[in-house]
Structure 1
Amino acid sequence: MCGIAGFHESSLHPREYQHVIHDMLAQIEHRGPDEAGCFLDDRLAMGTVRLSIIDLSSGSQPVGSADGRYWLCYNGELYNYRELRDELTGRGFTFRTGSDTEVVLNAWAAWGHDCLPRFNGAFAFAVFDTTTGELHLARDRFGKRPLFVARHEGAWLFASEMKAFLAYPGFSFDFDARELSSIYATWAPLPGQSGYRGIEQIPMGEYLSVRGDTVRRGRWASLDLTAGPAPESEQEAVGLVRAELEAAVDVRLRSDVEVGVYASGGLDSSIIAHIAARRTDRPLRTFSIQFEDAEFDESAEQDELAKHLGTRHSTVRVKDSDIVDAFPEAVRHAEVPVFRTAFVPMYLLAGHVRSEGIKVVLSGEGADEAFLGYGIFKDTQLLSAWHELDDDTRMRRMGQLHPYLRHFNGADGHRRMLGLYRQFTEESLPGLFSHQMRFQNGRFAARLLRDAGDPFAAVKELVAREPGYARLSPVQKAQWLEFRTLLSGYLLSTQGERMALAHGVENRCPFLDPAVVRRAASLNLRFGDSFDEKYLLKQAYADVLPERIVRKGKFPYRAPDSAAFVRSRPHYRELLTDPGTLEEIGVLDPRFVRRFTDRVFDSPPEGIGTKENQAFVLLASTVWLHHWYVRGHARRHAPLGIPLNVVDRRSSALSARTENVL
């Protein structure tokens, strides 16, 4: 795992390249504190900060092809690199290292863009073709690893994290009002969005190739949720789920350093911990978050799992003040507006994991999306069948939806829900039937903005231009939206990758193995009660996990949101309502923001609703992003703390000496 940064076709003098790329890499050194290297050409400068996981001794970057034509800066892990290495060796390629990085490079040399569908991994990379002068950027199929691009005075800038752009001469950040409106409404950046003018993300499963005025874009991986052939029996289905998932864990345990597991106490991470524990020759290291607030705490299940598996378990106990105190720095690493505080405890956990000497962890992310574990899928089933059901059946099914939400339980709660659900039985947002209820909260958050426009314009356009989307079932549409919005835009990025790499920890997600996702799509809703979420996963591992964990209903990972701020009264409260700051931000409605913030802080914590919670966290994160990025305080002025290995191919190089980092 690493961080990459660079620029192409810059107006800077080539003599400046090394200094600028050094400064850009210094902004993201936390991603790769073990090594740093760069490649310089008259047309390009690019570099890598490396977190050494595979081939610790000779896997340095950047890496060049044997003939010197291609140069690669790579962020990620290719889990099937051994199999691809054997295939490439059979085609006549030779290898000087044991790293997956060189496999990516030779695969590109062999197949070009066609290598991408062969990759099972989490990655983002840049390949420069010295013969054509073309720069190629590509990102993995689920958006696990970030890759941002920006145009500035004719140059193409790229980086794993946007903060690297702060080091490029003359570059500045400014909020994009339309994108902020979309992010507020849909909870996370959509594919391609960053929240800032002139900066975009390479969307999941896509590539971008540039040379001069020629720009090529393409999608190399689509999300196919159409069900394939299903086995005839539930027993066979359970066996297939186990086989695919255990194979996915096996390849993600490939590492030259010890691998741990995030064990939340829920079903998904418990399954991963069980599989991993059976494949290690020493006690598995497991890590979890415990909350002082019992409403969010799963420590009992965590402790039971650790005892059951015999793991070396370690925890971080989080209280309100911890969330409030760490919030600004966690937002600096997130780089985008955030709608909940759950990413902050993950930031604290990753710091603890690294302090324990662990660089790699497995997690259960992706299971809910692949195996329909979220309440929104049950909501969609209920709403799409609403007119065919009587009130008794509706009430019974609503009782199965959100058992962890206290205000939805009991007869009174169910009656309130009945009235709420009736409002969403018809599609009012084209293509977004499944998410209309959720997006109501986002509509409220968009009121914080001076001019929100149509906050759903971008997501409506996203589904309208997706081939085959209209033919999906309501539940499949909900699943597609979860993969393309909340999973890639928040769970894998802000809450996952960005918080882990802030401390130099790589996270791997077996449930997002392409074979596992395909298998789940072929089995979902075909076996068991569709209102018992992740039924097949429970059947597959009920005999090897504690009954308490298997039978527990869905308990999504959450953390105290605005209540933490109300109870802790942060020292930076005034920053959130300072008239000068709000006017300077420009996109916010200062009068509404001040009224809203005062109302939140004057309310009892238990009286703050979900939509107010989300709006408050979005507001607080936006104000801090203005401080860090628009004002530029996120820029790190210290030099790299590790030597920079330089491969210098500039014709105007100050020295004729070239250092080969292989």
Structure 2
Amino acid sequence: MCGIAGLFQSDTAPGDLPRVVTGMLGAIAHRGPDGLGYMVDDPCAMGTVRLAILDPAHGAQPFGDAEGRVWLCYNGEIYNYRELRAELEAKGHVFHTRCDTEVVLEAWRAWGDAALPRFNGGFAFALYDRLEGRLVLARDRFGKRPLFFARHGPGLVFASEMKAFLAVPGFTFRQDPAQIASILGQWTPLPDQSGFEGIENVPMGCWVSVQDGRVSRHTYASLTFDDGPAVASAADARDLIRDRLTESVAMRLRSDVEVGVYLSGGVDSAIVGHLTREITHRPLSTFSVEFADAEFDESAEQRMMADHLGSRHHALRVTQEDIAAAFPDAVYHAEVPTFRSAFVPMFLLSRRTREAGIKVVLSGEGADEAYLGYDLFKETLLRAAWSESDEALRRERLMRLYPHYAHYGPRDIAAVTGLYQQFAEERMPGLFSHELRFQNGRFSARLMRDAGDPFAPLSALVAETPAYQAMSPVERAQWLEYKTLLPGYLLSTQGERMSLAHGVENRCPFLDKAVVDLAGSVNLRFDDGFDEKKLLRDAFAADLPEAVVRKRKFPYRAPDVAAFAQAQPDYLELVRSEAELAALPFLEARFAQRLTRKVLTSPPDGISTKENQTFLFLLSTVLLHHDFVRRARAPEALSTRVTPPLEKVVDLRTAGAA
């Protein structure tokens, strides 16, 4: 895992290129505290801050081929690098390191962009071809690793995180009202959105080519649910689930440093922990967040699983005061508006993990999307079959809808019956599964002075995807989750950005193509969808404590508005002040002020979920304006500020290297 940054065909003075590119890398040094390297050529300057995991002694970047023609700056891991290396060696390629960076470079030299579908991992890279005068930017198929780019003058700048652009002379940040409205509506940026004007995110499963001033975009991996194997029975499905997850975990344990596990208290991370212990046969380090507020705490199941694994368990107890204190730093690392505070404890946990000497962890992200673990999927099944179901079947399914709500009973069922009756027919073309969720998004969009249609970009995305039109309602729901909330929030704001803020790489065994393909082929074939993740639970029932296996979905949440209302941190002045709000002309300031007064003065039970979410969107949007648009934060004040040692310098203008 690393961070990359650079400039291509820039009008920066040649003598200033080393200073600018090292400044960009310094802004994201938290991603790679183990070393910094860069190369400079006439049209290109780029570099890497490195988190040394594979072949630490020989993996310094940028990495060039023997002829000095092709240069690579690479972020992430290709887990099947050993298999690809053997294939390339059989073709005559010679390797000088044991790191996957060299495998990526040689794979590109052998197969060009056809190498991308062969890569099994989470990655983003920049590849510069001196002979062709071309820059390539590429990203993994599930969007685990970020890569942003933007036009700047006659050229282009790119980086793993947008804060690197703060170091580019003349680069200005402007928040994009249309993108922010879209983010508020669906809770997350779309695959190419950044929230800022002119800055694009390379979408998942895509690559970008830049040559002679032209930017061309290409897709190498499309998301479908029809690539899985034929499965004859539930028993066969359970066996395949075990086999594929075991293979996936084994690949993600390839490392020259110790690999830990995040335990959430749920079955997904418990399975990952079990397989890790079975495969490694070594003492295991596990990490969890505990909450002082019992409403959010899962420490009993976390400790039960840690005892079961015999792990060295590290529990971090998080209070409301901790969340309020760390929120600005966590938002700075997230870089996009956010509707929850749950990413802040993950920011704090990654710091604790790195302090314990661990810089690689496995986690359970992606399991709910693959195995229908969210209420959203059950709600979609229920609503899609509403008109064909009799009253008894509707009631039976409604009874099974929310087993994790302790007080869910007949009165609640009566209320949701009317709601589902109202939403039994599609209102938003192609977005049936998410229409209930988007009601909260519509409320949040009231923060915008002119939100337009906040769902227009998402509607356009599904309309231009032919395979989507042929999917079932539940498959469409999965597709939307894989394309929106998973990469835009769970893998980034709550995942990669928080872990890399402290130099910790997060690997996700459930986000292996073979695992995802299998899940697509077995869901609803051997289960009615209302017993969440039944096949997955049954596949590992004999290996885990029964209380963990049978525990229903407990959504990971953290104290939201209550944390700020109690702590009253100074930065709340940014959303209380008329002058501060006036600096963001796209905000509906009166609505923002009324909302702020209400949520900070009302008792917690007097604040609705949509008000909670909207306030956090407001606060994070204003903090981002403060940090990026106004540049009011001093980078050296960050608790995550690090200075990696200089490892490698290549100046191709003089053919000198050090």
TM-score band by shorter chain is over 0.9
Q: Single out whichever of 476-485 and 288-297 deviates more from structure 2.
A: 288-297
- The answer for the alignment partner of 1:134 in structure 2 is 134
- The answer for the alignment partner of 1:208 in structure 2 is 208
Contact 1:148 1:161 in 2 (8 A): yes
Contact 2:30 2:642 in 1 (8 A): no
Structure 1 residue 230 displacement after superposition: 2.9
1:48 aligns to 2:48 (yes or no): yes
Q: Single out whichever of 465-474 and 478-487 deviates more from structure 2.
A: 465-474
Written as runs of structure 1 = structure 2, the 5 A alignment for 1:522-561 is 522-561=521-560
User: Unaligned stretches of 5+ in structure 2?
Assistant: none
- The answer for the alignment partner of 1:658 in structure 2 is 656
Q: Single out whichever of 414-423 and 135-144 deviates more from structure 2.
A: 414-423
Name the CA shift for 1:405/1:182 in 2 (closer, same or farther; >3 Å): farther
Structure 1 residue 405 displacement after superposition: 4.0
User: Counterpart amino acid of 2:94?
Assistant: T
- The answer for the alignment partner of 2:396 in structure 1 is 396
Structure 1 residue 404 displacement after superposition: 3.0
Q: 2:310, 2:487 → 1: CA distance?
A: 33
Q: 2:135, 2:594 → 1: CA distance?
A: 49
Contact 1:79 1:121 in 2 (8 A): yes
Structure 1 residue 540 displacement after superposition: 0.4
Contact 1:166 1:635 in 2 (8 A): no
Contact 2:582 2:589 in 1 (8 A): yes
Q: Percent identity?
A: 58
Q: 2:643, 2:543 → 1: CA distance?
A: 47
Structure 1 residue 308 displacement after superposition: 1.1
Contact 1:55 1:97 in 2 (8 A): yes
Instruction: State the TM-score, normalizing by the size of structure 2.
Output: 0.98
Structure 1 residue 636 displacement after superposition: 2.9
Q: SS in structure 1 opposite 2:279?
A: coil
- The answer for the alignment partner of 1:602 in structure 2 is 601
- The answer for the alignment partner of 2:230 in structure 1 is 230
- The answer for the alignment partner of 1:565 in structure 2 is 564
- The answer for the alignment partner of 2:420 in structure 1 is 421
Cα deviations by residue, 1:123-156 (Å, 9 ceiling, x for unpaired): 0000000001100000000000000001111211
Q: 1:625, 1:507 → 2: CA distance?
A: 25
Written as runs of structure 1 = structure 2, the 5 A alignment for 1:62-77 is 62-77=62-77
Structure 1 residue 542 displacement after superposition: 0.5
Contact 2:342 2:558 in 1 (8 A): yes
- The answer for the alignment partner of 1:370 in structure 2 is 370
User: Unaligned stretches of 5+ in structure 1?
Assistant: 651-655
Contact 1:263 1:269 in 2 (8 A): yes
Q: Single out whichever of 185-194 and 218-227 deviates more from structure 2.
A: 218-227
- The answer for the alignment partner of 1:303 in structure 2 is 303
Name the CA shift for 1:42/1:187 in 2 (closer, same or farther; >3 Å): same
User: Counterpart amino acid of 2:149?
Assistant: V
Q: SS in structure 1 opposite 2:151?
A: strand
Contact 2:290 2:298 in 1 (8 A): yes
Name the CA shift for 1:494/1:589 in 2 (closer, same or farther; >3 Å): same
Written as runs of structure 1 = structure 2, the 5 A alignment for 1:160-239 is 160-226=160-226, 228-239=228-239
Q: 1:601, 1:417 → 2: CA distance?
A: 29
- The answer for the alignment partner of 1:337 in structure 2 is 337
Q: Single out whichever of 265-274 and 281-290 deviates more from structure 2.
A: 281-290
Structure 1 residue 657 displacement after superposition: 6.5
Cα deviations by residue, 1:454-481 (Å, 9 ceiling, x for unpaired): 1111110110011211110000000000
Q: Single out whichever of 324-333 and 388-397 deviates more from structure 2.
A: 388-397
Q: SS in structure 1 opposite 2:430?
A: coil
Contact 1:192 1:201 in 2 (8 A): yes
Q: 1:642, 1:117 → 2: CA distance?
A: 34
Contact 1:167 1:635 in 2 (8 A): no
Q: 1:184, 1:249 → 2: CA distance?
A: 35
Q: 1:244, 1:220 → 2: CA distance?
A: 23
- The answer for the alignment partner of 2:650 in structure 1 is 647
Cα deviations by residue, 1:90-148 (Å, 9 ceiling, x for unpaired): 11110111110000000001111000000001000000000011000000000000000
1:23 aligns to 2:23 (yes or no): yes
Written as runs of structure 1 = structure 2, the 5 A alignment for 1:582-597 is 582-597=581-596
Q: 1:321, 1:193 → 2: CA distance?
A: 32
Q: 1:402, 1:597 → 2: CA distance?
A: 31
Q: 2:401, 2:531 → 1: CA distance?
A: 9
User: Counterpart amino acid of 1:450?
Assistant: R
Written as runs of structure 1 = structure 2, the 5 A alignment for 1:58-137 is 58-137=58-137
Q: SS in structure 2 opposite 1:264?
A: coil
Q: 1:367, 1:544 → 2: CA distance?
A: 18
Contact 2:33 2:643 in 1 (8 A): no
Q: SS in structure 1 opposite 2:466?
A: coil
Q: 1:169, 1:406 → 2: CA distance?
A: 56
User: Counterpart amino acid of 1:648?
Assistant: D
Name the CA shift for 1:639/1:170 in 2 (closer, same or farther; >3 Å): farther
Cα deviations by residue, 1:537-562 (Å, 9 ceiling, x for unpaired): 11100011000011111112111111
Cα deviations by residue, 1:275-330 (Å, 9 ceiling, x for unpaired): 00112232211100011111111111011111111111111111111111110000
Name the CA shift for 1:566/1:404 in 2 (closer, same or farther; >3 Å): farther
User: Counterpart amino acid of 2:425?
Assistant: E
1:461 aligns to 2:464 (yes or no): no
User: Counterpart amino acid of 2:526?
Assistant: F
Q: 1:331, 1:639 → 2: CA distance?
A: 18
- The answer for the alignment partner of 2:312 in structure 1 is 312
Q: 2:259, 2:249 → 1: CA distance?
A: 11
Structure 1 residue 231 displacement after superposition: 1.8
Structure 1 residue 570 displacement after superposition: 2.5
Q: SS in structure 2 opposite 1:512?
A: coil
User: Counterpart amino acid of 1:282?
Assistant: R
Contact 2:195 2:336 in 1 (8 A): yes
Q: Single out whichever of 607-616 and 389-398 deviates more from structure 2.
A: 389-398
Contact 1:23 1:639 in 2 (8 A): no
Name the CA shift for 1:106/1:42 in 2 (closer, same or farther; >3 Å): same
Aligned residues: 654
Q: 1:639, 1:377 → 2: CA distance?
A: 43
Contact 1:529 1:535 in 2 (8 A): no
Q: 2:6, 2:642 → 1: CA distance?
A: 17
1:476 aligns to 2:479 (yes or no): no
1:33 aligns to 2:36 (yes or no): no
User: Counterpart amino acid of 1:542?
Assistant: A
RMSD: 1.3
- The answer for the alignment partner of 2:578 in structure 1 is 579
Cα deviations by residue, 1:165-207 (Å, 9 ceiling, x for unpaired): 0000000111100000000000000010000001010000000
Name the CA shift for 1:57/1:110 in 2 (closer, same or farther; >3 Å): same
Structure 1 residue 418 displacement after superposition: 1.2
Structure 1 residue 212 displacement after superposition: 1.6
